[in-house]
């Protein structure tokens, strides 16, 4: 025995369906004259100069706005950011590197004097430029 399909109707069901279809009134005949007049009016409105201009401006406007927005976002994203060094941080780093010298400042000061003294002592040996 095969399974009944959903579109198979029994005779009583077909009878009920036929009576229901017979009781529905026939749809009215379309008024083709009114339909054609309405269609002509729509076509003429589409062909008018004003409608053509409106359609022409409507197409490129969203494209131009989207392109402008994308350009602005791209320029903003690629704009170089000017970074100025923090001079206080640089000074702190330099001072931190020389901290050992600052702790022994008196010794460093004497070394500078010794260097200058050595240069002064060698002044007698340097040839003089006489013009």
pLDDT tens profile 4-38: 566 688 889 999 999 999 999 988 898 999 999 99
Predicted confidence (pLDDT) per residue in 34-86, tens digit: 999 999 998 888 888 777 777 766 677 777 888 899 999 988 888 877 777 66
Collect all residues with Cβ–Cβ distance below 8 Å to 74 and sequence separation of at least 6: none
């Amino acid at each position: 025995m095969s399974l009944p399909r959903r579109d198979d109707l029994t005779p009583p069901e077909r009878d009920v369906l036929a009576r229901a279809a017979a009781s529905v009134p026939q749809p009215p005949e379309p008024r083709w004259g009114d339909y054609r007049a309405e269609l002509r009016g729509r076509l003429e409105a589409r062909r008018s100069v004003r409608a053509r201009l409106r359609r022409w401006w409507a197409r490129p406007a969203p494209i131009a706005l989207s392109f402008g927005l994308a350009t602005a976002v791209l320029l903003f994203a690629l704009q170089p950011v000017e970074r100025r060094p923090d001079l206080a941080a640089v000074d702190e780093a330099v001072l931190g590197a020389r901290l050992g010298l600052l702790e022994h400042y008196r010794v460093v000061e004497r070394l500078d004097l010794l260097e200058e003294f050595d240069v002064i002592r060698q002044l007698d040996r340097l040839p003089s430029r006489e013009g």
